[in-house]
Chains A and B, each alone.
Chain A
């Protein structure tokens, strides 16, 4: 062994540095291999991300476009009054649409080939109520002459099956086995689209409408879920940020280091690892059963998510405070600042970017959280928008991830497309939050 090393050394000494010796070559080979492993790992990650994005986008982008009838509707005050006095109000309004549909077909020059009643079959179930909602609003504004008509162009949503046909989800073959649509109707839809009565357009209703029933996938929207999620984020931000930051400042800067604070510290780390559904059970037991807060309300969801976000915020805030160099604290104490002045004038501003990033990442986590919300009833079918806060915090609402879960449970494949669309909305919100975190961080760190 000794001989070998000695001879190796002797050999190495005599050789030119331009030629790699065995050991160096091996070292370089190992380094190269490691680099390839790393690049491979990054590649796999990027590939998976691309697959995820492509599949979600290809499935979900369709939800933002919807097949619609563009119809010009003229209603007189007398008609509105008549409809409002009848028993089945929306079906009367549907009758009005039928009249105008005939006019539209005539205008498009296909009135001879197409029966109006057949065209009406292709109209979505909520067309009558859409018209009624508008008409009721119209009645309030005083119109002097009862016979005078008010005209407006409407985009009525076509039936979900027709929409599916244009998006490739429904085919002639599947329509033959379908009780809700016939191949003849699909052929008619083709004709109407050619004539320009039916078109596929951007559908703002997906972001503003509330959830709809099983057989009206075309009318289902994210409005209530978005509002519910925003309310919950508001609650989480208002509660978790001040509580978390105060707790971490106290623990990091003021608390004596003893067994009790050690115990608290360990338990905060443990809390961060508790499965989120456990927080849901806690919320159900404490906030709903014990405190009597209403089911499905953003206030309960917000409180549960606050509990869940707190450890994240506390841990990141403490890390941010820890990373402030002790020399800054000594400097401030040295000129006679009190401990609180030291913290608030010097330590906290330096830790702010870290605290903000931690908070926003905690919020993003809370935004995407589903499991605890299922337990406190946020999974319910909610048709009405919650009122404005603070009362609205106690009204039933949905949440974005829960809406996704909800829609994937339904049988109609149209809801699968809408669930993917909802995921896109959720991802956009998350991306916005993360970009905000990065920007805030940059802005504050660049100050010096």
Chain B
């Protein structure tokens, strides 16, 4: 406990990207997230683990205000990104979501061409002045999504015609095309086979050079493989948060230990 506090202070001094304090989320009367405090660091992969329905995804969706689209959802407490409270009235969720990209559980490419899928974000944000600039952005994003070589010859083919793993990487390319600073990934590999998963995991590892990545996962092996920090959620509480190695080898809380060893969840 003591160690982690020291480290927390260190990161605050260095580069805390997201800092959540006393976050409460309610779905109508259902208290989904209970008083969560967490500091997420820049250029790090942070994994959220925990049994189904524990609030990982809900908390993740708070970070780019995707919960705004759910009428019955209420969020309390403060979430600061780069020191700005993102639930401030003056914060525009559209700008926030450009800064905080998101990849969803199920690959959800638009029913358009591969090119249009990736180019859509840059287009609506006016990031390219002409076609060649846009082409460059698309190529860069697809390269970062580790899918360029597979699709470079058929950029005009529909994105929905690709395999699941390719679709997910297109979605990752689409998310990074708008140059976000934080990338939220909601179980990005749950619909993928082991080979596609390992490709995405490699990709996540590369992405942490430029972004702060927050990933929700059900696979503890995956969390152990890709993340530097791990947060364990249980029944809406953040039970334990710390270095991934620490959590997996020497959990402080009984519940974390039980979950990791497979006794609950």
A158 to chain B, nearest CB (A): 62
Report A116-138 CB contacts with B as 1/0, cut-off 8 Å: 00000000000000000000000
Quick check: B101 and A334 within 8 Å, CB to CB? yes
Q: Which residues of B contact A336 (CB under 8 A)?
A: 94-95, 97-98, 121, 124-125, 178
Quick check: B97 and A331 within 8 Å, CB to CB? no
- Give the interface segment out of A48-56, A196-204, A322-330: A322-330
Quick check: A334 and B120 within 8 Å, CB to CB? no
Tell me the residues in window 329-353 of chain A with beta carbons closer than 8 Å to chain B beta carbons: 329-338, 341, 345-346, 350
Interface membership of B237, Cβ < 8 A? no
Interface membership of B158, Cβ < 8 A? yes
Q: Which residues of B contact A447 (CB under 8 A)?
A: 111
Tell me the residues in window 124-151 of chain B with beta carbons closer than 8 Å to chain A beta carbons: 124-125
Q: Please measure, in the bound complex, the distance between the C-alpha atom of A447 and the C-alpha atom of B66, giving whole angstroms.
A: 30
- Give the interface segment out of B41-49, B102-110, B214-222: B102-110
Q: Which residues of B contact A331 (CB under 8 A)?
A: 104, 108-110, 171, 174
Q: Please measure, in the bound complex, the distance between the C-alpha atom of A341 and the C-alpha atom of B123, giving whole angstroms.
A: 11
Q: Please measure, in the bound complex, the distance between the C-alpha atom of A328 and the C-alpha atom of B107, giving whole angstroms.
A: 10
Q: Please measure, in the bound complex, the distance between the C-alpha atom of A338 and the C-alpha atom of B120, giving whole angstroms.
A: 12
Interface membership of A256, Cβ < 8 A? yes
Q: Which residues of A contact B97 (CB under 8 A)?
A: 333-336
Quick check: B111 and A350 within 8 Å, CB to CB? yes
Interface membership of B71, Cβ < 8 A? yes
Q: Please measure, in the bound complex, the distance between the C-alpha atom of A69 and the C-alpha atom of B160, giving whole angstroms.
A: 66
Quick check: A330 and B95 within 8 Å, CB to CB? no
Quick check: B69 and A329 within 8 Å, CB to CB? yes
Q: Please measure, in the bound complex, the distance between the C-alpha atom of A30 and the C-alpha atom of B34, giving whole angstroms.
A: 55
Interface membership of A18, Cβ < 8 A? no
Q: A336-B125, A350-B111 are in contact. Are A330 and B104 (CB under 8 A)?
A: yes
Quick check: A335 and B174 within 8 Å, CB to CB? yes
Quick check: A335 and B120 within 8 Å, CB to CB? yes
Quick check: A332 and B110 within 8 Å, CB to CB? yes
Identify the interface centre among A256, A325, A327: most chain B CB within 10 Å of its CB: A327
Identify the interface centre among B66, B102, B106: most chain A CB within 10 Å of its CB: B102
Quick check: A335 and B108 within 8 Å, CB to CB? no
Q: Please measure, in the bound complex, the distance between the C-alpha atom of A332 and the C-alpha atom of B112, giving whole angstroms.
A: 12
B141 to chain A, nearest CB (A): 11
Quick check: B104 and A448 within 8 Å, CB to CB? no
Identify the interface centre among B66, B124, B158, B174: most chain A CB within 10 Å of its CB: B124
A260 to chain B, nearest CB (A): 14
Q: Which residues of A contact B178 (CB under 8 A)?
A: 335-336
Identify the interface centre among A328, A329, A346, A448: most chain B CB within 10 Å of its CB: A448
A259 to chain B, nearest CB (A): 13
Report B170-210 CB contacts with A as 1/0, cut-off 8 Å: 01001101100000000000000000000000000000000
Q: Please measure, in the bound complex, the distance between the C-alpha atom of A447 and the C-alpha atom of B160, giving whole angstroms.
A: 12
Interface membership of A257, Cβ < 8 A? yes
Q: Please measure, in the bound complex, the distance between the C-alpha atom of A70 and the C-alpha atom of B64, giving whole angstroms.
A: 82
Q: Please measure, in the bound complex, the distance between the C-alpha atom of A12 and the C-alpha atom of B94, giving whole angstroms.
A: 66
Quick check: B108 and A327 within 8 Å, CB to CB? yes
Tell me the residues in window 38-90 of chain A with beta carbons closer than 8 Å to chain B beta carbons: none
Q: Please measure, in the bound complex, the distance between the C-alpha atom of A341 and the C-alpha atom of B110, giving whole angstroms.
A: 13
Quick check: A346 and B71 within 8 Å, CB to CB? no
Q: Please measure, in the bound complex, the distance between the C-alpha atom of A336 and the C-alpha atom of B125, giving whole angstroms.
A: 8
- Chain A residues within 8 Å of chain B by Cβ, number: 21
Q: Please measure, in the bound complex, the distance between the C-alpha atom of A447 and the C-alpha atom of B71, giving whole angstroms.
A: 33
Q: Which residues of A contact B175 (CB under 8 A)?
A: 334-335
A9 to chain B, nearest CB (A): 39
Q: A330-B104, A335-B121, A337-B124 are in contact. Are A448 and B111 (CB under 8 A)?
A: yes
Instruction: For A330, give its contact among B66, B71, B112, B124 (CB under 8 Å).
Output: B66
Quick check: B94 and A338 within 8 Å, CB to CB? yes
Instruction: For B66, give its contact among A333, A338, A350 (CB under 8 Å).
Output: A333
Q: Please measure, in the bound complex, the distance between the C-alpha atom of A447 and the C-alpha atom of B112, giving whole angstroms.
A: 9
B237 to chain A, nearest CB (A): 26
Q: Please measure, in the bound complex, the distance between the C-alpha atom of A338 and the C-alpha atom of B66, giving whole angstroms.
A: 12
Quick check: A346 and B110 within 8 Å, CB to CB? yes
Quick check: A334 and B104 within 8 Å, CB to CB? yes
Report B55-77 CB contacts with A as 1/0, cut-off 8 Å: 00000000010100101000000
B132 to chain A, nearest CB (A): 21
Question: For residue B121, which residue of chain A has the nearest CB?
Answer: A335
Quick check: B69 and A328 within 8 Å, CB to CB? no
Question: For residue A258, which residue of chain B has the nearest CB?
Answer: B71
Report A308-333 CB contacts with B as 1/0, cut-off 8 Å: 00000000000000000101111111
Q: Which residues of A contact B111 (CB under 8 A)?
A: 328, 350, 447-448
Tell me the residues in window 343-397 of chain A with beta carbons closer than 8 Å to chain B beta carbons: 345-346, 350
Quick check: A257 and B108 within 8 Å, CB to CB? no
Q: A336-B125, A337-B124 are in contact. Are A328 and B108 (CB under 8 A)?
A: yes
Q: Please measure, in the bound complex, the distance between the C-alpha atom of A335 and the C-alpha atom of B108, giving whole angstroms.
A: 12
Instruction: For B64, give its contact among A328, A334, A350 (CB under 8 Å).
Output: A334
Quick check: B71 and A257 within 8 Å, CB to CB? yes
Question: For residue B184, which residue of chain A has the nearest CB?
Answer: A334
B67 to chain A, nearest CB (A): 11
Question: For residue B69, which residue of chain A has the nearest CB?
Answer: A333
Question: For residue B102, which residue of chain A has the nearest CB?
Answer: A334
Instruction: For B94, give its contact among A329, A337, A345, A350 (CB under 8 Å).
Output: A337
Q: Please measure, in the bound complex, the distance between the C-alpha atom of A332 and the C-alpha atom of B171, giving whole angstroms.
A: 11
B154 to chain A, nearest CB (A): 14
Q: Please measure, in the bound complex, the distance between the C-alpha atom of A338 and the C-alpha atom of B69, giving whole angstroms.
A: 11
Q: Which residues of B contact A350 (CB under 8 A)?
A: 111
Q: Please measure, in the bound complex, the distance between the C-alpha atom of A336 and the C-alpha atom of B95, giving whole angstroms.
A: 7
Q: Which residues of B contact A256 (CB under 8 A)?
A: 71
Instruction: List, sorted by A's number, 29 A–B pairs whose CB atoms are closer than 8 Å.
Output: A256-B71, A327-B104, A327-B108, A328-B108, A328-B110, A329-B69, A331-B171, A332-B110, A333-B69, A333-B97, A334-B64, A334-B66, A334-B103, A335-B97, A335-B98, A335-B101, A335-B120, A335-B121, A336-B97, A336-B178, A337-B94, A337-B120, A337-B124, A345-B120, A345-B124, A346-B110, A447-B111, A448-B160, A448-B161
A329-B69, A332-B120, A447-B111 known; 9 new pairs, CB 8 Å cut-off, are: A327-B104, A327-B106, A330-B102, A330-B108, A331-B104, A335-B98, A335-B175, A336-B95, A448-B112
B residues near A (Cβ < 8 Å) are: 64, 66, 69, 71, 94-95, 97-98, 101-104, 106, 108-112, 120-121, 124-125, 158, 160-161, 171, 174-175, 177-178
The 5 closest A-B pairs by CB, nearest first: A336-B98, A335-B121, A327-B108, A334-B102, A336-B97
